[in-house]
Chain A
């Protein structure tokens, strides 16, 4: 009897100490080591790929943004409005559409394909898009442009979705079509090794170049 009690105590002691030791190694040492190594080898990426224009941080390379001006390229719809908000003088924060900003988040509305709210949202977006882009035919709007991404932070649209916006951007920005096409091309990435992934256009990078060409920043 005494022997078995001793065994249980010894087992528990091992369990407690090994837990604490592994917690320190895996939970503290490992992340600190990786932070140190990354800061040394890849300082820019470790810091979140922030983009600075004229000394001011305007975004991060891989985090999408919402754009509303006609002369900018538009991103995909986002349930979290890409965490973009404005602040009034009382410090109240609102999304750009006027609803309250609840703080940082990510995700989608999680509408099932059969959910009527999904079709309503898409229908409204189609009408709004066609109004602002009169030259585009309804059936030419690419799928990705009016469907929400999973993260609500998708930095990309497909090259087709960039293409259908070009005429609007040209008209609203006053830049030549060639310039706009050139900017889109500069920020289009192909597939990895020509096989993996999809072709993407980085919306934020396109808009920074547009803003620079227009002399806005």
Chain B
């Protein structure tokens, strides 16, 4: 319990400097490392013919993102298909079959990292590097770029310029992801994560048998896997293996590297919105900016406001509340143990240890599970299929919500959708035109928001229905009873939320599962991003409205609470029936 609280407190401290750094990168401000990175970026821009100062409107930006991702998918697919060549392939891995390659490449490009293969037998080191590690960088950078463009749209300095996609992609990769990865990667190696190009080692054990031990460039993949909230492991069992995650220190490094950047994104949002407000006040009064800002808006100086920005703070708080509630339920459920095992006489005093590692225990496992699904990473340090029914419902629920910090950038964008929905509902209640961040929310935005929010449950529920309605889908289920439905639900929730963890028992490397989850991942990713950019583009064009007595303030604690309720109510309305048939029913039968 204590270790969970301490881990979270440390996070709240560390996220602030990272947030400030990322804000500087996103807003194109000066940082201490500019002399180095300006040169690196300059070379990349020159080779690629990128003109970073050329702004794009939201349509061009979305098109550039889609084109670039399409090229990456094409190139990556080809490498997967020809990976059997003798380059970086000491273990002699063969080529990958078409439907699996399709699923894998969509999975990694969309930042999902759902894996229907097992790393140790399915991928050569060449693919692990040129496809997997590469995609882990650029899918994260693509998501982050979209988010930065989205924030620029909301912060609205100009009428149509949301930035240059290529410049954002490059800057985020070289200035945030690469330097963090090199430092973090070395820390992981220090703790015992292998990093080499040699083939698997066979040893003679002291009992006279043989053991084969996996090798490879594990640390390089491991660090960007978490930093980019990707989640696809080098090995089948992901971060539960002592090769990817040997000690409690590596566990903490991996935990923090997946939490920091999504949190930093919220801070970036808060600060960029604040910048805009400050400039507006300055323009109006002509006074010194800082002074005018403080006096005009009558804001008490507050530490949390300085850290997160006012608007960022309420979003961060809402996400934090949902996270802590989920974490508590998961930890409690796992600590209760498994009554079925208690019945046959195995003490459950340690909690439910099936599928968990001794070095992490219940506390770090519950924390990792809640984090990986809230921050939509999808890495696991214990097997989610073996979680207790309610413990396993939390990760599923957080992927269904898909707003609790979320993956690189997209979590924030989703949460803003709910914020718009919240001001809309509040606006109806108090009988005023809803406003968010100084812009009127009108018909067009509401339609797009509703569409965006509805796509996610539609993908999950429609595909689940398809799976349980067809023989091909049913064949994948490996656990009997209510848990079988949970396996199906989890797989599609994970796909649509671009999470990538799984109830791994599911026999999912079949044509049916490869194609359907591939589609869920694809639409879950790109439809939302395009719609969200469209909303930003539409809001940009509007004029700022002046605050009045009737304006609903979105930077308050009460708004954070309203936001939490809106998210939970929406989730309950859409998902409660299936959750009742899956995990809740399993819980009731198990504890009956």
**With the chains together, A157 CA to B359 CA distance in Å?**
8
Chain B residues near A64 (CB-CB < 8 A): 242
Asked if B205 CB lies within 8 Å of chain A CBs, one says yes
Q: Given A114-B586, A200-B358, are A192 and B248 neighbors across the interface (CB < 8 Å)?
A: yes
Are B211 and A82 within 8 A (Cβ)? yes
Are B481 and A153 within 8 A (Cβ)? no
**With the chains together, A69 CA to B6 CA distance in Å?**
42
Are A111 and B242 within 8 A (Cβ)? no
Are B217 and A34 within 8 A (Cβ)? yes
Are B173 and A46 within 8 A (Cβ)? no
Partner of B383 from the list A50, A53, A72, A150 (CB cut-off 8 Å) is: A150
Interface size class of B (residues with CB under 8 A): 35 or more
Are B204 and A58 within 8 A (Cβ)? yes
Asked if A3 CB lies within 8 Å of chain B CBs, one says no
Chain B residues near A27 (CB-CB < 8 A): 129-131, 133-134, 137
Partner of A141 from the list B347, B479, B589 (CB cut-off 8 Å) is: B347
Are B49 and A13 within 8 A (Cβ)? yes
Chain B residues near A1 (CB-CB < 8 A): none
Q: Given A56-B204, A110-B478, are A138 and B173 neighbors across the interface (CB < 8 Å)?
A: no
A165: min CB distance to chain B, Å: 14
Partner of A195 from the list B6, B131, B217 (CB cut-off 8 Å) is: B6
Return the CB mask of B322-349 against A: 1 if under 8 Å, else 0: 0000000000000001101101111111
Chain B residues near A63 (CB-CB < 8 A): 211, 213, 242-243
Chain A residues near B356 (CB-CB < 8 A): 147, 149-150
Are A34 and B382 within 8 A (Cβ)? no
Are B178 and A30 within 8 A (Cβ)? yes
Chain A binder among B23-31, B97-105, B193-201, B540-548? B193-201
Asked if A119 CB lies within 8 Å of chain B CBs, one says yes
Chain A residue nearest in CB terms to B189: A38
Chain B residues near A154 (CB-CB < 8 A): 242, 357-359
**With the chains together, A116 CA to B7 CA distance in Å?**
36
B256: min CB distance to chain A, Å: 12
Majority secondary structure of chain A interface residues (helix, strand, loop or mixed):
mixed
How many A residues touch B, CB cutoff 8 Å? 108
Chain B residues near A153 (CB-CB < 8 A): 237, 241-243
**With the chains together, A35 CA to B380 CA distance in Å?**
25
Return the CB mask of B140-173 against A: 1 if under 8 Å, else 0: 0000000000000000000000000010011001
Partner of A46 from the list B2, B72, B177, B195 (CB cut-off 8 Å) is: B195
B381: min CB distance to chain A, Å: 7
**With the chains together, A116 CA to B182 CA distance in Å?**
46
Return the CB mask of B350-379 against A: 1 if under 8 Å, else 0: 111111111111001000000000000000
Chain A binder among B11-19, B61-69, B517-525? B61-69
Can you pick out 23 interface pairs between chain A and chain B where the beta carbons lie within 8 Å of each other? A13-B49, A20-B75, A21-B48, A22-B173, A23-B134, A26-B177, A30-B133, A30-B220, A34-B182, A35-B195, A42-B186, A45-B191, A50-B203, A62-B243, A63-B243, A83-B212, A106-B241, A113-B389, A143-B351, A149-B358, A152-B237, A154-B357, A197-B364
